Structure 1
Amino acid sequence: MTTDTSACTPASSSPLHAAVADDFAAVNRTITQQLSSRVPLVEAISGYIIDSGGKRLRPLLVLLAARALGYGGDKHVTLATLIEFMHTSTLLHDDVVDESHLRRGKQTANDAWGNAPSVLVGDFLYSRSFQMMVDVGSMRIMEILSAATCIIAEGEVRQLTNIGNPSISEDDYFATIQGKTAQLFEAATQTGAVIAGATPEQEEALTRYGRYLGLAFQLMDDLLDYQGDAGAMGKNVGDDLAEGKPTLPLLRAMAKGTPEQAKLIRQAIRKGGLDRLDAVLEIVHATGALDDTRARAEDMAAKALAQLDVLPASEFRDTMATLARTAVERTA
């Protein structure tokens, strides 16, 4: 499942949105306008998942990147909205694939309406996002986002093929999370830079910033699956294990544990379910696997911070720095 970086408060009320509050209000209005459909079920499902809480980090990154480079137009609002639609469509599809029943502490759309409507509404949102790309009017942005959609899909397929496989390498793991999570973060900051007319150096730095930030968020998401608070996360501890996902905490535990511990984790990944959750939790804590995962997340956040040196001082750059720091401080 794509990482959920949400909080169950209205996005516009978050301190992280203060620097672009007016822009974000415009994004929220555009979301409402663009959800219009002649089919009531499309509006119902789309609105349900979009309104179900969240920081909307990906559209926020578009707005911050553009404003940090002095952009004074309004097309960044359309760009931020379509990226949120792309993300929302992946959530609808992911929940069907993962057979999820809970997201952000609420019933998933597929649980409420069924798999077929959820998949088709996800398709609608993807299609609407491409309509909006035409409105943005930048062939360069269309190239970036169309390439990103392919990489994201490949990441999801890679994750699916890795389920139940305890033998994947850490390189395989990072390739998966780069595709399924970090790619859209990267596309958000890169396109925000492009729309603002960034220099090649600035565009490359902001591309890397989004990539490293996305990796940090996914690493923390995978860590919190074995350490987080179920109520705060809006999902159950151990969900990844239940689905047989070989995430970094398990890979590190197998690498550092005894042969017996590694064997138990391999069996738990192959079988899925939660029968061995308590034993697995004990091992990932005892081996320092969670500390290793946090250290990798902190390294990614530090790399993201370093990219901001190409930007002039501003409240927008400051907020992007805060995002990198809070990525590894969160508990949900």
Structure 2
Amino acid sequence: MKPVFTIMSALLLAVIATVNSCPPSDRAALLAFKAALHEPYLGIFDSWTGTDCCHNWYGVSCDTESHRVADINLRGESEDPIFERAHRTGYMTGFISPEICKLTRLSSITIADWKGITGEIPKCISTLSFLRILDFVGNKISGEIPYDIGKLNRLTVLNIADNQISGRIPASLTSLSSLMHLDLRNNKISGPIPRRFGQLGMLSRALLSGNQISGPIPGSISRIYRLADLDLSMNKISGSIPASLGKMAVLATLNLDSNKISGTIPPTLLTSSIGNLNLSRNGLAGKIPDVFGPRSYFTVIDLSYNKFSGSIPRTLTVASYIGHLDVSYNHLCGRIPAGAPFDHLEASSFSHNHCLCGKPLRAC
């Protein structure tokens, strides 16, 4: 009886192992994805062997119940021992194969900081209805954002910064009702910000700097109640600053520097919850509103390289805190107020104006 029992036990274990391993279709999709990439230094794909891609395949995680592949997490910059032993960050070439879209239960895809991955974002990525995180930062991916990316109604993170993405921000992106973190920095994206950008009601960070985005700042942005960080710097944005941005409840950082923005500063920006305000290198004009008060708290106010005229607001002296103030390269005139915060600022903060005087510049 023992040989029969042993055979039955072995068969039972084999059945259990098969049931608990990833489906052959998921394994085949992963191997096709791997075949389109070349990683020459670290050997991160050396563990992708055997029939069970849910067990000890580097960067692959599976759902505990369905045993379908749920997460791909491959970062080229990591504290993982495989990087520490090699004394280097990762480098990978190739492209992201559309075969990845056959992993229909994917919840997160992170293929980040590999520096040499090219090609486009597979258009089929918008069919992955369970996807919550899409992170392709730090590669050389080109092409456009899939036009129907708005189908990913569970997506909370979209990070494609530091690539070579071109084209426009698709209108469908504004349908990502769960999106909390949007990072499109340092690409070649052009065209306007979608007019309905304010529909992204869960968004807390919108980082769009270092592109070729043009047109006005949509007033609808001010309807994003949770937005704390808005960075539109180093683009070609024109028009005026919507006063409604200064009425946003939690907006703490507003970077609009290095654009083509004109008009005046809405006083609301200086009486708001914003603590880091950078409006430098634009075409803003008029007077700096004299509306600061005891509740004003700014780590940074940078108004340099504009066309501001008039005097420096005296109410700055009653502000709770002004860490760094820069009004250089404008057309300001008159006496620099005495006392805080002016007693700790350097002359470079006031240089290249028409006729400012007083410490730290020349005496009046």
More strand by share: 2
Bigger relative CO (Cα 8 Å, ≥ 6 apart) = 1
> Higher Cα Rg: structure 1 or 2?
2
Structure with greater helix percent: 1
